[in-house]
Amino acid sequence: MSGTAPGGPDERVFAAWLSERVARYARRRVGDEEDLSLWGLDSVALLSLVGDIEAEFDHLFDPADIWGHPTIRDLAQYLAMRQGMCRHSGRVRAAFVFTGQGSQHPRMTAGLHRELAAYRRHLAAADEEIAPYLGRSVGELILDGDPRVHQTALTQPALFAVGYALAMTLVEAEGVRPVAVLGHGIGELAAAVVAGALSLPDAARLVCCRGAFMQYLPSGGGMMATCASPFEAADAAADEPLVTIGAVNAARATVLSGPVDGLERVRERLAAVGIASTFLEVTHAFQSPLMEPVTPRFEAAARHVSGGSAVLPYYSTVYGREYGEPLTTSYWTEQITAPVRFADAARRMLAQQAPSHVVEIGPRAVLTPFLRRIAGPRGPACLAVCRGPESDAVYLAGVLSTLDAGPLAED
């Protein structure tokens, strides 16, 4: 490529151009995943590289962007995203990102339920499908402030119901139609319903079986969020065979999953090299091989679910890319033990779909900070449909205004 940007938002073309330039300065072949600090470039070479990028992509690149996207792959995806956004400038193109386990809290979305008829209607529809499997009303569980909302067997159906109801409430607003969807962990099920790959009854069956089977696994597992890259996290866990990567949320936001005692030892190794980590409030090692005892029972219980292909772009956090195949029982079984490749899926969605806005769908903002880091300072606007327990119809009206959507009817 010489003197012109590629005709479409294809990160591979950007990556090839960047690889050639970086190899010239580093005087060696450079891998797409190598960190900037490993390139061996002195300050003069870095300034020259920034100048090359500005000359080639002046409308896409800011010098500070190179520090926010430390690998060739990251930079290529960012440039592809920026080019796509330039083609769609002035149009609202909203992508929906569904929050996973850990975002729940007692009385989540109570303000919206009190004030918005549309939200009540959609939550009731999800509740009706979930109740036969759960043996109780998930709506009452959510709204009564019951602390048992943190129990896995109840958490997962509750978050699914909230995510579904929030998304459908937005879809009712004029103009809010997602151009793509992505879900983190349990959020993938709500994303699949909104994308047309699962029916609401089938998703309710899956989420209730999933949560119930996980709830009754032996305790002793945990998850730990770190400020490490995936490579640093894997290196620190090398002597702990049962500790694995459970999620990669951003360039330096890796979650480890495994036995608590193993995680404690990994935490000490990371601290010794100045990398912070913190345990998450979970009772099991989700998204890890320790979930494997669940999979035969889940697969048997879900074998009659006939998932289809999504009718709009569905970005899988199992594979870290757009997934166009049918979302059948085998996919949801694999999803139980697979690490969440959120950062990969989000980067590709931003690059390929070029949304003007990314809306986090869940009871509180958890993924929005990661999305902003991935998108960079000149990426799409990232906002949450609920910022936390205090969110109400007034806050949602502000979100709709940002999305240039019509008002919702209040009571």
Contact 399, 368 (CB under 8 A): no
Q: Please, what is the average pLDDT of the chain?
A: 86
Residues 6+ apart with CB under 8 A from 119: 109, 112, 113, 165, 166, 169
More reliable by pLDDT, 115 or 82: 115
Phi-psi region of 19 (alpha: psi -120 to 50; beta: other; left: phi over 0): alpha
On the CB side of 302, how many CA atoms lie within 13 Å of its CA? 31
Structure tokens at 22: 């970086």
Whole-number Å distance between alpha carbons of 122 and 311: 21
Residues 6+ apart with CB under 8 A from 276: 226, 227, 270
> Residue 367: pLDDT band by 50, 70, 90 thresholds?
very high
What does the pLDDT look like over 146-164, one tens digit per residue? 999 999 999 999 999 999 9
For position 58, what pLDDT does the model report?
A: 60
For position 15, what pLDDT does the model report?
A: 80
Whole-number Å distance between alpha carbons of 242 and 306: 33
What does the pLDDT look like over 170-203, one tens digit per residue? 998 766 889 999 999 999 999 999 999 999 999 9
- What b-and-e string marks burial along 297-335, b requiring 16 or more CB atoms within 10 Å of the CB? ebbebbeebebbebebbbbbbbbbbbbeeebbbebbbeb
Question: Is the torsion defined by CA of 155, 160, 165, 166 positive or negative?
Answer: positive
Q: Which residues face 249 on adjacent strands?
A: none
> Residue 36: pLDDT band by 50, 70, 90 thresholds?
low
For position 7, what pLDDT does the model report?
A: 38
Supply the pTM of this predicted model.
0.80
Q: Has residue 93 got a pLDDT over 70?
A: yes
What does the pLDDT look like over 197-253, one tens digit per residue? 999 999 999 999 999 999 988 888 999 999 999 999 999 999 999 999 999 999 899
For position 233, what pLDDT does the model report?
A: 96
| Amino acid found at 110 | A
